[in-house]
Amino acid sequence: KPMRLWGGRFEGGPADALTRLSVSVQFDWRLAPYDLLASRAHARVLHRAGLLSESELERMLAALDDLEGACRSGEFRPTVADEDVHTALERGLLERLGALGGKLRAGRSRNDQVATDLRLYLRDNVRYLVSRLVELETALIGQAEEHAATAAPGMTHLQHAQPVSFGHQLLAHVHAIARDVDRLRDWDRRAAVSPLGAGALAGSSLPLDPQAVAQELGFDSAAPNSMDAVADRDFAAEFLFCAALIGVHLSRLGEEIVLWASQEFRWIEMDDAYSTGSSIMPQKKNPDVAELARGKSGRLIGDLTALLTTLKGLPLTYNRDLQEDKEPVFDAVDTLLLVLPAVSGLVSTMRVNTARLEASAPDGFALATDLAELLVRKGVPFRDAHEAVGHLVVWCQVNDTTLDRLTEEDLAKISPHFAAGEKDGGDVPGPLEVLNVQGALAARKAYGGTAPDRVRDQITALREIVDGQ
């Protein structure tokens, strides 16, 4: 007869269909180490409450250690008859301790246990996740450092807009990831609350000490409301939002890399180790890593949606629906731990086609704004400057030339505003001086701008932030 935690008041056994529906051990078994951790803390609290003698506590802790070893070696495995991780581990304890094993369940319920286990699991795994995010930040910063002064076409609407430092663009992605790390750190503050002691929903009549258990498990405090403690899955939903947003950030970076690696852009060459071939077209080199990063964001968004939908409309307190919290959380953790190292590797090994980036940076009349702003510095209203440069662009199109190839005579023909020498103060450059990409970058030297010096400042600041993460 399979061991259940709730057989007492039932005459017949459960239907097979119920058992198959109800069982969660095939996915919640990964909570076993955390369940054992919480069991040790609970055993100590029972002992302090006088409910376990000194020697019973010692035997209990030794059995938990032994069980942990057996789980780790694979010698102890959950069976299909174990409903969930808690059932399986209680079976393991009973096998080791006989009747004494049955004492550990006093004052706790699977409801506070499972909420505690999931918090412990997530807080632990978020630390790994942060390390992987830091690796990606480091990979991006490394490339940005080499390309702080590499001019590239900056785009809006996927059209050439203004030249930017390619490093500046890479760092934009670092800022997004840095916010993700910050968000996870902030998440941890709210996740650091221990549900243990809440029991099924109302707390325990036994003289337990939830604050002591919380402290032992590395939480900041115990939950102040036992009903909230067992019903709340905000920590899981909030984590899944963080994960989904990381997914979106990876997807946007992935999409850029797909574009950059295309024949039309040719901005980067991916390393062989991070690209794939085609089974039919021998010449192909495909950006599968970037595409999977983009594609996996779909399931991360789905994980968040799944949990929110499960939570919506649940009455207090524990409802079995809550068993559905775990698979989305595990999937999000697994997905990110799989994607992040691949994306980091792709970024750190890609070779940037500097010559092509610099050559195409002025394309699409990307220096037009610089010229208009030059006129503004000479006192021309921006409205008129915009108009004059607009005419100049059309003139260039008609004459099949580009802004950076104009001569002083060309400029003088279009508008008197463009005449060189028409300077108010000594510090206003001539039009030909601003009609070059490096000048355009260097001129954007205010805080947050794309000037290579500011990009290097950003790298220094970001390295400091990343070191602290």
Tokens of 283: 């010449």
Q: Which residues, 6+ apart, have CB-to-CB distance to 43 below 8 Å?
A: 52, 57, 60, 61, 64, 104
Choice between 35 and 358, CB closer to ligand ARG: 35
Residue type, 48: R
Closer by beta carbon to ligand ARG, 28 or else 180: 28
Smallest gap from residue 204 Cβ to ligand ARG (A): 15
Site track for ligand ARG across 8-47, x = CB under 6 A: ----------------x---x-------------------
Residue 9 or 320: which CB sits closer to ligand ARG? Answer: 320
Q: Which of residues 110-169 bind ligand ARG (CB under 6 A)?
A: 110-111, 114
From the CB of 246, what's the least distance to ligand ARG, in Å? 25
Q: Where are the beta strands (DSSP E) in 159-284?
A: 159-165, 193-194, 221-222, 268-269
Q: Which residues contact 274 (CB under 8 A, 6 or more apart)?
A: 289, 342, 345, 346, 349, 350
8 A C-beta contact, residue 180 and residue 242: yes
Q: How far apart are CA 345 and CA 349, in angstroms?
A: 6
Non-local CB neighbours of 455 within 8 Å, separated by 6+ positions = 144, 148, 149, 165, 167, 168, 171
**At closest approach, how far in Å is the CB of 34 from ligand ARG?**
13
Supply the minimum distance, in Å, between the C-beta of residue 110 and ligand ARG: 4
Query: Which region among 46-54, 74-82, 106-114, 204-212 touches ligand ARG (by CB under 6 A)?
Result: 106-114
Interatomic CA distance for residues 103 and 203, integer angstroms: 17
Q: Residue from 68, 82, 84, 331 that binds ligand ARG (CB under 6 A)? A: 84
CB neighbours of residue 277 within 10 Å: 13
Q: Smaller CB distance to ligand ARG: residue 36 or 462?
A: 36
Which residue, 51 or 200, is less far from ligand ARG as judged by CB?
200
Known catalytic membership, residue 278 = yes
**CA nearest to 100, candidates 47, 50, 56:** 56
- Tokens 């300077």 sit on residue: 423
Distance (Å, whole) CA 413 – CA 409 = 6
Min dist. Cβ of residue 66 to ligand ARG (A): 24
**Two tokens, residue 148:** 């702080």
Tell me the C-alpha distance between 159 and 354, whole Å: 19
Q: Which among 55, 73, 157, 279 is annotated as catalytic?
A: 157
Q: What is the DSSP letter of 29?
A: G
Taking the least distance from each CB to ligand ARG, the nearer of 5 and 419 is 5
Q: Whole-number minimum distance, CB 200 to ligand ARG, in Å? A: 7
Rounded Cα–Cα distance for residues 209 and 220 (Å): 14
**Of residues 100, 112, 116, the one with CA closest to residue 31:** 116
Per-residue contact string for residues 294-323; x = within reach of ligand ARG by CB under 6 A? ------------------------x-x-xx
Assess contact for 172 and 381: CB atoms under 8 A.
Answer: no
Least CB distance to ligand ARG at residue 107 (A) = 15
Catalytic, out of 278, 279, 348, 360: 278
Q: Report how many residues bind ligand ARG under the rule CB under 6 A.
A: 10
Closer residue to ligand ARG (CB): 116 or 323: 323
**19 preceded by a cis bond (ω within 30 of 0):** no
CB nearer ligand ARG, residue 118 or residue 141: 118
Phi–psi pair at 81, nearest 5 degrees: -80, -10
Q: Pairing state of beta strands 268-269 and 351-352?
A: antiparallel
Task: Give min distance, CB of 24 to ligand ARG, in A.
Answer: 5
Please identify every residue annotated as catalytic: 157, 278
Task: Give contact residues for ligand ARG (rule: CB under 6 A).
Answer: 24, 28, 84, 110-111, 114, 318, 320, 322-323
